[in-house]
Chains A and B, each alone.
Chain A
Amino acid sequence: MSSKIKSQKDFNAGLMFIAFGAVFAFVARNYPMGTAVRMGPAYFPTILGWLLMGLGLIVFLQSFATKDEPPKSMDARAVWWILGSVLAFALLVGPLEAGLVPASVVIVMMSAYGGREFRWRDAITSAVILSVACVAIFYYGLGLPFRLFPWS
């Protein structure tokens, strides 16, 4: 399979565009189309959705014609730990109501782990300094409404 595809980048991108275009165009069928004079909510998205599918198809076909370097392989550690740290922060300040300080410490430590040069001492020091700085800037300085700790 990979021998026929000359550009994996274009192959993936093309499929992505076709998929998005299709979703937008087909979900739009639930909304009224209206007429050219009085365009309904489905009009513009449908046009755009089909356009996107068309462009996606061109890109997809191009992937068999033009050679391109393969995409860099995914750095899974960076992806999982960075995004994981963000989700953890969201959960901690959101539904879990743990407060800004624990959330800050967690996101700094977890995201730092996503980097290849992780060192425990640096991560802990940064976490402390950044948490203090954020509380100072955002809670006291800008007055943003945050719970600081689970018990406050």
Chain B
Amino acid sequence: MELFNNLLLGFQVALSFQNLLYCFLGCFLGTLIGVLPGIGPVATIAMLLPITFNLPPTPALIMLAGIYYGASYGGSTTAILVNLPGESSSVVTCIDGYQMGRQGRAGPALAIAALGSFFAGCVGTVLIALFGPPLAELAFEFGAAEYFSMMVLGLVSAVVLAHGSLIKAIAMIILGLLFGLVGTDVNSGIARYSFGISELSDGIGFVSVAMGMFGFAEIISNLEAKQADRDQAKISEVKTLMPTWHDIKVSIGPIMRGTAIGTIFGILPGSHTVIAAFSSYTLEKKLSKTPERFGKGAIEGVAGPESANNAAAQTCFIPLLTLGIPTGAVMALMVGAMTIQGIAPGPQVMTQKPDLFWGMIASMWLGNAMLVVLNLPLIGIWVQFLKIPYRLLFPGICLFIAIGAYSVNNSPMEIYMAALFGLFGYWAVKWGCEPAPLLLGFVLGPLMEENLRRAMLISRGDPSVFVTRPISAGMLVVTALLLLVIIAPQVRRKREEVLVEEGP
């Protein structure tokens, strides 16, 4: 069976010493930043992008992926032990997880979280292996018009499912598209928006935008928010890790359902892990015969969301690896990483570089296994890290970002740009504009223009080509429906509910 051969190839690649090493490094770093509040996977991946220049593509992408799904494991640790979400999707785990900790049941909470995540991660990996190739087959039928419409759909759905003002999010996407267009136009050779600065004629560095908006801007915002002195927060003691049989029995359902939810939201554009975790919590509460236990230490409130967020963290790679479109900020960074490596994301990655594709899938499974080991037996180490105050961490982060930005071109220009985008990002967030849509638009800008141009060229200037070709038309219809649905008042109220639950 072809699947078997592909997986064999994948494991051969993933089990090489270098790839194992980088997989472990990614998972370790991911757990670390998942545990530490104040720094998340987006900033970390952005920081490590320049380092991946010196690596071959497979270990580079394996490591970056490991950071992402590793963070969703690590975030549960801080959530349960200190009631602080180390990573955005672990906000939900705080609710019941911390209560379990206060009841002396931190160990079982951590164990169920890790095991549920492992199950979800395995399922997610299997799904990528099963559905990847057929999806890529489908994508080969795509022409320029389909790609353009797909990008429109991807961009719009990414913001429709996210929180905050829809119009401002779309405006950020467009601004991102425009920033992405800065540089030399491939077709005409004219340098656009470079204002005579030679470095700009190569375009704005992707790394500068990412590091500025997600690194510096976040540090400044964190400092600004009056954080309660974390030293005062009691760290719950971990006595024994073993969950009771009752715990396990009760968690099986939530883990299954969480995995299913996470898989769906992972594939859809948006903030995959966060929405998956929240939806799972809401579902478990609704399905439970004793919903009043939720919020007071119900283990279902940990099992479901933790499985959901991990399933989402795996399956969100599917659109990237098969269709080549990024469906979230982290995926946008992965596109950036692939581009830096000279790999054009798209369905051809599977056929032209099968070792990369299948190697990544196999290593995701291995990574999940490593993470269970990292998170359970080694929990003591992470507890120590939790005691580092933020004021000692953030200057180090500034330094790493600065070095990373400089190393892109051995030029301080990238650092200036990162600082500039840091300032811009800070104000944008202050005024209620999300930075992630801008990053998505930035990555897709040149691609969208190229496909638009090609589509118009082939159709000889006929714009109706986007609606006459069936696949393209279908995508635009879905886009329009999504927009209409969101504007409809009932859905608006529901979104407000989710917003309120999502908190700050």
Q: Which residues of A contact B (CB under 8 A)?
A: 9-10, 12-13, 16-17, 20-21, 24, 27-28, 31-32, 35-41, 44-45, 48-49, 51-52, 55-56, 58-59, 62, 68, 71-72, 74-75, 78-79, 82-83, 85-87, 89-91, 93-95, 100, 103-104, 107-109, 111-112, 114-119, 122-123, 126-127, 130, 134, 138, 142-145
Interchain CB contact under 8 A, A123 and B426: no
Q: Closest Cβ of chain B: how far from A132's Cβ, in Å?
A: 12
Q: How far is the CA of A123 from the CA of B382 in the complex (A)?
A: 23
Q: Quick one: which of B406, B428, B461 contacts A37, CB cutoff 8 A?
A: B461
- Chain A residues whose C-beta falls within 8 Å of the C-beta of B416 in the assembled complex: 87, 90
- Chain A residues whose C-beta falls within 8 Å of the C-beta of B174 in the assembled complex: 21, 48, 51-52, 55
Which applies to chain B's interface (DSSP): helix, strand, loop or mixed? Answer: helix
- Chain B residues whose C-beta falls within 8 Å of the C-beta of A86 in the assembled complex: 216, 398, 401-402, 415, 418-419, 422
- Chain A residues whose C-beta falls within 8 Å of the C-beta of B167 in the assembled complex: 55, 58-59, 62
Most chain A CB within a 10 A radius of its CB, from B223, B449, B453: B223
Closest residue on chain A to residue B432 by CB atoms? A9
Q: Contact residue range for chain B?
A: 35 or more
Q: Closest Cβ of chain A: how far from B119's Cβ, in Å?
A: 36
B396 within 8 A of A: yes
- Chain A residues whose C-beta falls within 8 Å of the C-beta of B94 in the assembled complex: none
Most chain B CB within a 10 A radius of its CB, from A48, A51, A78, A108: A48
Name B422-454 residues within 8 Å CB distance of A. 422-423, 426-428, 430-433, 448-449, 452-453
Interchain CB contact under 8 A, B432 and A112: no
Interface-side segment among B15-23, B181-189, B317-325: B181-189
Q: Quick one: which of A9, A40, A56, A112 contacts B171, CB cutoff 8 A?
A: A56
Q: How far is the CA of A89 from the CA of B427 in the complex (A)?
A: 22
Closest residue on chain A to residue B410 by CB atoms? A145
- Chain A residues whose C-beta falls within 8 Å of the C-beta of B400 in the assembled complex: 134
Q: Given A45-B192, A94-B412, A144 and B407 touching (CB < 8 A)?
A: yes
Interchain CB contact under 8 A, B412 and A91: yes
Interchain CB contact under 8 A, A107 and B402: yes
Q: How far is the CA of A51 from the CA of B174 in the complex (A)?
A: 8
Q: Given A10-B432, A87-B416, A142-B54, A108 and B399 touching (CB < 8 A)?
A: yes
Q: How far is the CA of A39 from the CA of B148 in the complex (A)?
A: 15
Q: Quick one: which of B224, B410, B430 contacts A9, CB cutoff 8 A?
A: B430
- Chain B residues whose C-beta falls within 8 Å of the C-beta of A9 in the assembled complex: 430-432
Q: Closest Cβ of chain B: how far from A41's Cβ, in Å?
A: 4
Q: Given A37-B461, A75-B223, A108-B399, A115 and B453 touching (CB < 8 A)?
A: no
How many residue pairs link A and B with beta carbons under 8 A? The number is 194
Closest residue on chain B to residue A78 by CB atoms? B223
B403 within 8 A of A: yes
Q: How far is the CA of A9 from the CA of B412 in the complex (A)?
A: 33
Interchain CB contact under 8 A, A90 and B402: yes
4 closest A-B pairs by CB: A94-B412, A75-B224, A37-B461, A90-B415
A sample of 13 inter-chain contacts (CB < 8 A) reads A12-B427, A20-B178, A31-B185, A39-B456, A44-B452, A78-B220, A86-B401, A94-B415, A95-B412, A107-B402, A122-B392, A138-B403, A142-B54
B106 within 8 A of A: no
The contact string, 1 if C-beta is below 8 Å from chain A, for chain B 453-488, is 100110011010000000000000000000000000
Closest residue on chain A to residue B55 by CB atoms? A142
Interchain CB contact under 8 A, B223 and A72: no
B389 within 8 A of A: yes
- Chain A residues whose C-beta falls within 8 Å of the C-beta of B390 in the assembled complex: 115
Interchain CB contact under 8 A, A116 and B399: no
Interchain CB contact under 8 A, A44 and B181: yes
Most chain B CB within a 10 A radius of its CB, from A28, A90, A100, A103: A90
Interchain CB contact under 8 A, A13 and B432: yes
User: A39-B456, A75-B220, A107-B402 given. 4 additional CB < 8 A pairs?
Assistant: A71-B431, A82-B223, A93-B406, A114-B220
